[in-house]
Structure 1
Amino acid sequence: MQLSLIILGFVFTLFSFLPLIPSPLWWIRVLDFPRLHVAMFLSIILAAYVVYFGIESTQEIAMIAVWGLAILNELRYIINFTPLMKIEALRTEQKHPANSFTLMISNVRMVNQKYDKFLERVQEARPDMLIMNEPGHEWHDHVCKVLDKEYPYSIKKPLDNTYGMLLWSKNKLHDSEVRYLVEDGIPSFYTVVELPSGDKFCLFTVHPQPPRLMLNTEPREAELLLVAKQAKKTPYPAVVAGDLNDVAWSRTTKLFKQISGLIDPRVGRGFYNTYNAFVPIFRYPLDHVFYDPQFRLVNLRRLDKFGSDHFPILITLNYEPHREQEQEHPTADKEEKQEANELIQEGLEKGEERSQEKQNSDS
């Protein structure tokens, strides 16, 4: 048992420190996700070792110290998403927010066929805008006949490669575009949303590829950082939403915030884990909403599952530009801007390579 605990302790310590390597390799970047789980398992291993075998030698003291450092290393990433930390995104103080909108984001899982269950969630939430990630043509055909009646404005790009995207809105949409920022076959949306008051904001929706077996993350980083730069330069305040396939505490997400200047309503509040709905003990915050400090938070909640491996997330924001300076304003220094540019270049090159490979395989 002692040897088993030592081996397990070494493995989880490795899991803690490997993500410090700034590499896009999938088997490194996937370890950004289970920070809380690694800290928990390593804490159990450490406690079990001390209880059963004690600490008698210098080597054991060093080993326990390294395990403790590994636990602290994990906790420093996730602590920002607990009530122990200062809230980043302030709530509105208006009892009846007069310039608000509600946005629902949901990765529907293309192979999921519980269309009616999903529509029930939409009817319960009654959002002003609805973003669907991963809808194929079957999803499009099943929900359009209902949602087209409720939402007069839309952007639609259903795809059967798990990267389709649909957007419905009760608010007017202007200058809408379907963009392929890094890879062919992976769209993102851009639109200018007009609130009933006449005020406008820019909405970006994204769904880049996740890190998975033999698939590194250069294109994901590039897409997120390209959107961050675009959001920073928009003529109106920006909102970025969707399934980012990245956790809220990763280096990429932090860099995204600094480049874009957008804030995260989960900081100081909670994880709001949206994936995996099927596995309660392994859940991560993959569906995100970042927004300009000109908005104030009215409400943020995770909705009930409906058959997808993602929970939907619902957020209500109120436009209050006169109180912008009261909130956090993430900023990037020169080194971070350079890092972002380098990551974008690497991702664009990798995305072009993958697109070329796909074209060759299709031909």
Structure 2
Amino acid sequence: MKDTLLVLGCILALFSFLPLIKSPLWWIRVLDFPRLHVAILLTAVLIFYVSKYDVTSLSEISMIVLWAAAILNEIRYIIHFTPLVKVEALKTEKAVPENALTVVISNVRMVNRKYQKFLDVVLAEDPDILIMNEPDEKWHEQVRPKLEKRYPYSIKKPLSNTYGMMLWSRFKLHDSEVRYLVEDGIPSFYTLVELPSGHKFSFFTVHPQPPRLLKNTETREAELLLVAKMAKASPYPSIVAGDMNDVAWSKTTKLFKQISGHIDPRVGRGFYNTYNAYIPLFRYPLDHVFYDPVFRLVGLKRLPKFGSDHFPISITLNYEPQNQHEQEHPKADQEDKQEANELIQEGLEKGEERNSEKKQENTKE
């Protein structure tokens, strides 16, 4: 038992410190996700070991200190998504927000065929803008009749590779584009949304590749940071939303916020985990909405599951440019900008490599 605890504790400590390495290797970046789980498990191992065995030797004391440091390392990331810290996104003080909009983000999971259950959840929430990640043409055919009646504006790119995307809007859309920023076959959207009041804001949607077996994260980092730079450069206030395949506390997400200047409504409020809907013990916040400080938060909630491995998430914001200076927001220094540029360049090169490989495969076929 003692040896088992020693091995388990050391493995968990390694899981805690490995993500400190600035590397896109998938087996390192995937460890950004379970920080809460590692902290809980390692705390249990530490408590059990100390209560069961006498810790007297220098090596054992050093080991306990190492485990404690590993636990604190995990806590310093996840604590920002608990009520123990100050909220980043302020709530509106208006009793009746006059420039409000509700956005729902939902990864429908392409192989999921519970179309009606999805529509029941979405139509009950009745958002002004709906983002669907992973729809294929079958999904498009099944939801179009009902959604087109309610949403006169849309951008659609259903695909059979799990990276399809559709955006439905009650508000007018201008200058809409389907963009392939890094990899062919992985679209992102840009559009200019006009509120009923006439105010406009830039809206970006993304769904980059996640870290997975033998797939490193260079292209994910590049796409997120490219969008962050676009959002910052936009002459209009901006919102970025979608299944980002990254957790809210990762280094990449932090850099995204610094480059874009956007705020995260989860900070100081909770995790609002959206994945995995099937496994309650292993859930992470992967679906996000980041936005410019000209918006104030009205409400944020996770919606019921409908058959996908993601929960939908709903956010209501109010356009309040007169109060934007009251909200603190991240800012990038020169080092942040240089790091972002390096990651973008690295990701674009990897994207070109993957695009070339796909073209060669298609030619062989």
Name the TM-score, length of structure 1 as normaliser.
1.00
Query: Take 1:122 and 1:15, find their aligned partners in 2: how far apart are those partners?
Result: 38
Letter in 1 for 2:179: R
Q: Which residue of 1 aligns with 2:52?
A: 52
Letter in 1 for 2:14: L
Q: Deviations over 1:31-83 (max 9, x none)?
A: 00000000000001101101111212111111000000000000000000000
Give runs of aligned pairs for residues 24-173 of structure 1, distance below 5 A.
Answer: 24-173=24-173
Query: Take 2:59 and 2:234, find their aligned partners in 1: how far apart are those partners?
Result: 56
Q: Which residue of 2 aligns with 1:182?
A: 182
| Cα contact 2:88–2:329 (8 A) shared by 1 | no
Q: Which residue of 1 aligns with 2:301?
A: 301
Q: Which residue of 2 aligns with 1:292?
A: 292
Q: Which residue of 2 aligns with 1:325?
A: 325
Q: Which residue of 2 aligns with 1:236?
A: 236
Query: Take 1:39 and 1:200, find their aligned partners in 2: how far apart are those partners?
Result: 43
Give runs of aligned pairs for residues 197-276 of structure 1, distance below 5 A.
Answer: 197-276=197-276
Q: Does 1:343 align with 2:350?
A: no
Task: Determine helix, strand or coil for the equivalent of 2:355.
Answer: helix
Q: Deviations over 1:167-191 (max 9, x none)?
A: 0000000000000000000000000
Letter in 1 for 2:16: S
Name the TM-score, length of structure 2 as normaliser.
0.99
| Cα contact 2:135–2:166 (8 A) shared by 1 | yes
Structure 1: stretches of 5+ with no match in the other structure: none
Task: Determine helix, strand or coil for the equivalent of 1:160.
Answer: coil
Query: Take 1:78 and 1:163, find their aligned partners in 2: how far apart are those partners?
Result: 29
Q: Deviations over 1:312-354 (max 9, x none)?
A: 0000000000000000121100011000000000000000100
Task: Determine helix, strand or coil for the equivalent of 1:95.
Answer: coil
Percent identical among aligned pairs is 72
Query: Take 2:222 and 2:56, find their aligned partners in 1: how far apart are those partners?
Result: 50
Letter in 1 for 2:310: H
Task: Determine helix, strand or coil for the equivalent of 1:145.
Answer: helix
Structure 2: stretches of 5+ with no match in the other structure: none
Aligned CA-pair RMSD: 0.4
Query: Take 2:110 and 2:60, find their aligned partners in 1: how far apart are those partners?
Result: 50
Query: Take 2:155 and 2:207, find their aligned partners in 1: how far apart are those partners?
Result: 15
| Cα contact 2:89–2:327 (8 A) shared by 1 | yes
* CA positional deviation for 1:304: 0.4
Query: Take 1:92 and 1:141, find their aligned partners in 2: how far apart are those partners?
Result: 38
Q: Which residue of 2 aligns with 1:14?
A: 14
Task: Determine helix, strand or coil for the equivalent of 1:242.
Answer: strand
Task: Determine helix, strand or coil for the equivalent of 2:193.
Answer: strand
Query: Take 1:318 and 1:146, find their aligned partners in 2: how far apart are those partners?
Result: 27
Q: Deviations over 1:84-127 (max 9, x none)?
A: 00000000000110001000000000000000000001111000
Query: Take 1:58 and 1:236, find their aligned partners in 2: how far apart are those partners?
Result: 60
Query: Take 2:328 and 2:154, find their aligned partners in 1: how far apart are those partners?
Result: 32
| Cα contact 2:150–2:170 (8 A) shared by 1 | yes
| Cα contact 2:239–2:290 (8 A) shared by 1 | yes
Query: Take 1:138 and 1:216, find their aligned partners in 2: how far apart are those partners?
Result: 30
Query: Take 1:54 and 1:282, find their aligned partners in 2: how far apart are those partners?
Result: 33
Query: Take 1:360 and 1:213, find their aligned partners in 2: how far apart are those partners?
Result: 22
Q: Which moved more, 1:103-112 or 1:56-65?
A: 56-65
Task: Determine helix, strand or coil for the equivalent of 2:338.
Answer: helix
